Chain A
Amino acid sequence: MSSPKLPLSNVRVGQRAAVANLEASGPMRRRLMDLGLTAGAQVECLHRSPWGDPAAYAIRGAVIALRDCDSAKISVIPLP
């Protein structure tokens, strides 16, 4: 894969990406995995709240809101 990795929080609204790896640790890491955010999973940034943070992501068919400080710990590879 030639595309550079970037944190999920930098993914623009409407853009899709694949999870590369989780940098979160401890309970947060487990929670993200239980939500389906494992390596290779596809996510899409759907929309942002009126204040710009948190943002809503489509993850395995569900819509999950994550704060930027948390989604910054998920590194993804943008998909075309």
Chain B
Amino acid sequence: MNHMENNSSKLPVVALAGNPNVGKSTVFNTLTGLRQHTGNWAGKTVSTASGQCTYGSFSCTLVDIPGSYSLYAQSAEEEAARDFLCFGNPDAVIVVCDATTLERNLNLVLQILELTSRVVVCINLMDEAGKKNIRVNLSKLSDLLGVPVVGTSARDGKGIDQLMKVLEKTIAGKSRPPLRIECPSAVENAVSLLEPVLSEHLMGRLPARFAALHILDSDPGLTNSLNQFLGFSLDQLPDVQAALFKAKRYLEEQGFFEEKLRDTIASRPVALAGNICSESVCAPSVSSNRDRKLDRFFTGKWTGIPIMLLLLAVVLWLTMTGANYPSSLLAAGFAWLEDHLRQGLTAISAPAWTISLLTDGIFHVLATVVSVMLPPMAIFFPLFTLLEDFGYLPRVAFNLDKCFQKACACGKQCLTMLMSLGCNAVGVAGAKIIDSPRERLIAILTSSLMPCNGRFPTLVALIGFIFVGSSLLSSVFSALLLAGVILLGIIVTFLLSRLLSATILKGIPSSFTLELPPYRRPQIGKVIVRSVLDRTLFVLGRAVSVAAPAGLVIWLLANLTIDGTSILQYCTGFLDPVARLFGMDGVILFAFILGFPANEIVLPLILMAYTASGTLPDAGNVNEIRALLTANGWTWLTASCTILFSLMHWPCSTTLLTIRKETKSLKWTFLAAALPTAAGLLACFVLTQISRIIT
């Protein structure tokens, strides 16, 4: 162990930087062989990932840092990226660029070159640039930038060998001073007043010119991080303050007031990038016609919203109908396995209670989780990933931004909601892509209103209870109903976001820029294989780590008795009167409470609790589940309220922990649990009372 640690700590550290959505994660995956989720939209890497990559005898630790447009950080994730580049002391930096939007990408490249010269520029997506008739003169570009430039198409692994070769050479080579982008002479004079003083205190830990420019530019974020890194307040030192005062006064005399000064400093790399591009890139003046046509269709005035709803319905319909067959197949398989397990245990004359605990308790809940949960996930996620790969998701955010504007929230919240559809915890962590802290909190607090991974199949099964039948029409109905449930989640998100921004999170919407990346042909085969595999492993992992212990707990609760009544009955009996107010029963509410560690066990727990003293239904068989629920007094109202409460209740433990970590506040964490729960209880209560009045 020690040996390994020593070994890995000696490896050079290479940072992988770049604008958002340039295929950074793909390059990372290709280099390290790790599988980090990649998608076609800005802001995918929400926290840094690292992995080892080896090429021949050369090895290094590669750190994938969040995508950023600039070292002048605007959001939490850009700050993380900047801090790693400035203070993480990487041995080299690979800056990944998109060959199709090179000019904009070069701005970041030049900013990083002002920081260090140990840079390899990786021009990715060369294949797409080729399709758009964009030609990049790599050797010319390398001459102009003064660092090696490698062209790659990371998706097909093209150019990766070359990238590693060049990287090895760069790390082994001599270090040169960083790039110097000249300012107008007045600013240069001011910099030279400040630079020597800073240099004395920095002692080579950060290029003094870089620090001087950022301090003159009054970049408070960087100054804070810099002070933290140094362990003392650099900008508070008397000699630094004196030099800064002198420099600022001189600049004002020369007519460089705050805004003009900032513009001058910021526009240097932008202007240089423009010049470099005009010398090394040959691009047709019109942007891609194909993308324009697709955008006119997917975001058109009359087509945008209908197509979005249609796509949602189709995806849900495919998921629901497609899941039926594998679900019953899995259920039958597990039933067969359970019989054999029981027989085997009987054969070795295990005590009756052990057999029941292992089969009725642990195995049965585990089997239900796998057979009910796995098929819908294994169908939904590949479809979702295909849309993501294609580049459709940012268009959804574009289409819906007006609604977020009305709710005084950020349009990027739409992207975190889509992430939440996969896993609420991922959605919470993903809220880092939102610049304004206020809007980020809104996104975090409402994140659990999107039915995640674990709740999705529960909803499918419950809708199956209301709409039973195997005809095409009823399956379409079910899909529409599920789409309706998700839409309800979206509407409640809007309402709560609006409510939050009118009350405790007051403020005006901050500025909003959203990049719409080019459409890309999804790698269909790869996506399907990978995401089916991912989902299967995910569900199996959760089944073992959460469902099996939950099965044990509920079996114990159902079988340990006090005065002839099981503990389970005590608990559910206690909750029953409360639950009835909201159209549910004690068992359902208890299952939601026990399901706190993971939402996917709620339905299996309900089934398990109902069958605790009776015969067991075939897990995954819709008709048997339906019969069991009806026998326990379920009506359409019970199912509807359970759906509503499943959509709106406290987030699971993992999500709450993530919220705690992201907000660093117990108050917000508590609110993130209380808010959706209150909304859910209110909705259930209103529905129940209305139905009682009507009937």
Binding site for B on A (CB under 8 A): 24-25, 27-36, 38-39, 44, 46-54, 56, 58-67, 69-70
Contact = CB atoms under 8 A, between A and B. Distances in A.
B107 interface: yes
Interface centre among A32, A34, A56, A64, by most chain B C-beta atoms within 10 angstroms, is: A34
A33 B398 contact: no
Contacts of B509: 67, 69
A72 to B, nearest CB: 11
B287 A30 contact: no
Contacts of B301: 48, 50, 52
A66 B259 CA distance: 22
A65 B266 contact: no
Nearest to A27: B74
B271 interface: yes
A64 B514 contact: yes
Contacts of B517: 63
B179 to A, nearest CB: 18
| Chain B interface SS verdict (over half) | helix
Given A30-B266, A36-B270, A53-B405, A62 B399 contact: no
Contact of B291 (A39, A53, A63): A63
Interface stretch (B43-51, B95-103, B327-335): B95-103
Nearest to B508: A69
Contact of B516 (A31, A35, A63): A63
B299 A47 contact: yes
Given A32-B513, A64-B515, 20 more contacts: A29-B262, A30-B262, A31-B74, A34-B107, A36-B104, A36-B273, A46-B287, A47-B299, A49-B399, A49-B401, A49-B402, A50-B301, A50-B304, A50-B305, A54-B401, A54-B512, A59-B104, A64-B514, A67-B405, A67-B512
Interface of B: 69-70, 72, 74, 100-104, 107, 259, 262-263, 266-267, 270-271, 273-274, 283, 287, 291-292, 295-296, 299-302, 304-305, 398-399, 401-402, 405, 411, 435, 509-518
Contacts of B302: 50
A54 B403 CA distance: 11
A62 B515 contact: yes
B101 A35 contact: no
A47 B299 CA distance: 8
A30 B72 CA distance: 8
A60 B448 CA distance: 38
Contacts of A36: 103-104, 107, 270, 273
Nearest to B263: A33
A63 to B, nearest CB: 4
A65 B511 contact: no
A48 B516 CA distance: 12
Nearest to A34: B70
Contacts of A60: 101, 103-104, 274
A74 to B, nearest CB: 11
A61 B103 contact: yes
A35 B69 contact: yes
Contact of A33 (B266, B283, B291): B266
Contacts of A53: 401-402, 405
A32 B299 CA distance: 23
A60 B270 CA distance: 11
A80 B517 CA distance: 27
A49 B396 CA distance: 10
Nearest to B21: A62
Contact of A61 (B101, B266, B304, B514): B101
A62 B267 contact: no
Nearest to B217: A30
Contact of B398 (A35, A56, A58, A69): A56
A61 B304 CA distance: 23
A51 B411 CA distance: 13
B259 A25 contact: yes
What are the 5 tightest A-B residue pairs by CB atom distance, in nearest-first order?
A51-B402, A34-B70, A50-B304, A28-B511, A61-B101
B450 to A, nearest CB: 21
B515 to A, nearest CB: 6
25 contacts: A28-B511, A31-B69, A31-B70, A31-B435, A32-B513, A36-B104, A38-B267, A46-B287, A49-B399, A50-B302, A51-B402, A53-B405, A54-B411, A56-B398, A61-B100, A61-B104, A61-B287, A62-B101, A63-B518, A65-B411, A65-B516, A67-B401, A67-B405, A67-B509, A69-B509
Nearest to A54: B401
Contacts of A58: 287
Nearest to A55: B398
Contacts of B512: 54, 65-67, 70
A31 B101 contact: no
A9 to B, nearest CB: 13
Contacts of B511: 24, 27-28, 31, 67, 70
Contact of B295 (A35, A39, A46, A52): A46
Contacts of A50: 299-302, 304-305, 399
Nearest to B68: A34
Given A34-B69, A46-B292, A63 B515 contact: yes
Nearest to A51: B402
A27 B301 CA distance: 31
A27 B78 CA distance: 13
Contacts of B72: 30, 34
Given A24-B511, A61-B101, A49 B74 contact: no
A58 B291 CA distance: 12
Contacts of A65: 398, 401, 411, 512-516
Nearest to A31: B74
A38 B270 contact: yes
Contacts of A54: 398, 401-402, 411, 512, 514
A49 B411 CA distance: 12
A56 B516 CA distance: 8
Interface centre among A29, A48, A53, A67 (most CB of B within 10 A): A67
B275 to A, nearest CB: 12
Q: For A29, A36, A46, A53, which residue has the most chain B Cβ atoms within 10 angstroms?
A: A36
Contacts of A62: 101, 104, 515
Contacts of A27: 74, 435, 511
A48 B70 CA distance: 27
